Amino acid sequence: MANADVIARVSARLRMVKVLIEHNEGLADPKKIQATPQGGWTHVYGENDALVNYLLLTCFDQLGQPDEWRSFSDWLKPKGAKSEREEVLTNLQASDPISTAILLHDAYNGRYGVKKSFNRFIAEKISPHAREDLMRSVKVEPLGGGALPDEMKVKRDFLYATRNALTHEAKAKSRSIGSASRASSTPPATASPRSSSAP
């Protein structure tokens, strides 16, 4: 169960999302269409939609955090998770500081990282019915035919990539190539949200 502080933050975010959705209608004006340097066009409506999806998706990692969650810097401090750190350092094969830092960071992310929390929310924190509704809200199609061996993973990866695209690249993502599919031997997939105001 998420603590009261997390619940309060997520509730405030959901109230903001409600306001953005209510104001979405006013953005639909065709006069707001703008040409892009590449010869295409863009519209502020898409940016608003992406912001709504981003805000909703960032609730996932907040609500999926373990109760004992701590930041990476707190995890490294003496009063942090000493036993967790010692477990990593005991099995440490690396001798240089960079490799040690990478191993510590990977160990932290494996327990407390954003992606871990995001996936924990989907897998463990919501009801099976809510999970099915969420997964039905994303459509995936293999490019070039074939089948997806793990459609659920492609959908989770799409949702996480959608969350990160706005954060790290300032991209309003509505379509994506499933990076997990591209990296493996499985066919790449296109993924897209089925409705504009839900993740």
In this prediction, residue 172 carries a pLDDT of 63
Note whether residue 10 is domain-resident: yes
In this prediction, residue 157 carries a pLDDT of 92
**If you search the block for the tokens 């066919």, which residue do you land on?**
187
Range of the domain at 89: 72-114
In this prediction, residue 121 carries a pLDDT of 95
Note whether residue 59 is domain-resident: yes
Same domain, 88 and 162: no
In this prediction, residue 134 carries a pLDDT of 93
In this prediction, residue 94 carries a pLDDT of 65
Same domain, 129 and 182: yes
Which strands form 189-193's sheet, in the order they lie side by side?
Answer: 138-142, 189-193, 176-177
Distance from C-alpha of 55 to C-alpha of 25, rounded to nearest angstrom = 18
Distance from C-alpha of 82 to C-alpha of 136, rounded to nearest angstrom = 41
Profile the chain (199 residues) by mean pLDDT over runs of 10 residues.
84 92 75 82 73 91 88 81 81 77 89 92 95 91 81 91 81 44 38 48
**If you search the block for the tokens 């094969």, which residue do you land on?**
93
pTM: 0.72
How many structural domains does the chain have? 2
Same domain, 13 and 51: yes
Same domain, 62 and 85: no
Same domain, 61 and 142: yes
Are the CB atoms for 73 and 198 separated by under 8 Å?
A: no
Q: Which among 58, 83, 114 is the end of a domain?
A: 114
